Amino acid sequence: MIITDTHTHLYSEAFDDDRAEMIQRAIDANVTRFFIPAIDSTYTESMLQLEKDFPEHVFLMMGLHPTSVKDNYNEELRLVDDLLAKRKFCAIGEIGIDLYWDKTTLDIQIEAFRHQINLAKQYKLPIVIHCREAFDEIFEVLEKEKSDDLYGVFHCFTGNLEQAQKAISYNMKLGIGGVVTFKNGKIDQFIHQIDLKHIVLETDSPYLAPKPFRGKRNESAHINKVLEKLSEIYEISEEEIATITTENSKAIFGI
């Protein structure tokens, strides 16, 4: 069984004391494909080192996270542009809009989001969307930018059924992680109405650990708890869900 974690911050400082052991734990648990989202230039070196250390398992994205869209965002976007011109990445991400931390940067977040969508089209890459308290704003941008060559993953999907269907209509798979195991997560109440062909698995580690690890550091091995929950919801084996979601990840990332 091969399990794919489509969104994990393995370079996070939270793993500085036991990174290699933590990754090995995941590999031992059949989680052998790790897709690594970018945040900003402060993490680029760590990401590239991860790829060197685990070349068979680690696949890097490039992009500017919406919470890193600050006064220097044009400089950060130039660095994204430069790296994309120099080497290959598997996606543009994570990109999007976050109105939880700072609503005052909405205009430049939208500008950065649209710029990076156009980079994805230019390089024929998928996008990986970060959305926090910004479904309407994200959908407005996607409506303007939609095209056959725009596709990707709606990472850490936490919306309702209608929003899930809308995201899928824009050629997005839904990234399902630990939230599906939460009592108040609500996703478990409707996800069975979404065909598994639209779903990929993720942890967003070190964040959003599933039950029974909620509130603790998340890691990629914990994706098995997400798999377990989806197996229960869809009433099919964990192996079948792992196979389908891994194939979905291959269709998105081309790896």
Per-residue confidence (pLDDT) for residue 1, from 0 to 100: 95
Per-residue confidence (pLDDT) for residue 136, from 0 to 100: 97
Report the distance separating Cα 17 and Cα 178, nearest Å: 23
Q: Is the pTM of this model over 0.95?
A: yes
Report the distance separating Cα 207 and Cα 15, nearest Å: 12
Determine the structural domain holding residue 141 and report its residue range: 3-253
User: C-alpha 52: how far from its chain's center?
Assistant: 21
Q: How many domains does the chain have?
A: 1
CATH assignment of the domain containing 81:
3.20.20.140
Extract the tokens encoding 31: 């989680």
For tokens 């760590």, what's the residue? 46
Per-residue confidence (pLDDT) for residue 120, from 0 to 100: 98
* CA within 13 Å, CB half, 177: 27
Per-residue confidence (pLDDT) for residue 183, from 0 to 100: 87
29 φ, ψ to 5°?
-95, 20
Report the distance separating Cα 163 and Cα 178, nearest Å: 19
Extract the tokens encoding 149: 């060559």
Residues of the chain with pLDDT under 70: none
Report the distance separating Cα 209 and Cα 212, nearest Å: 8
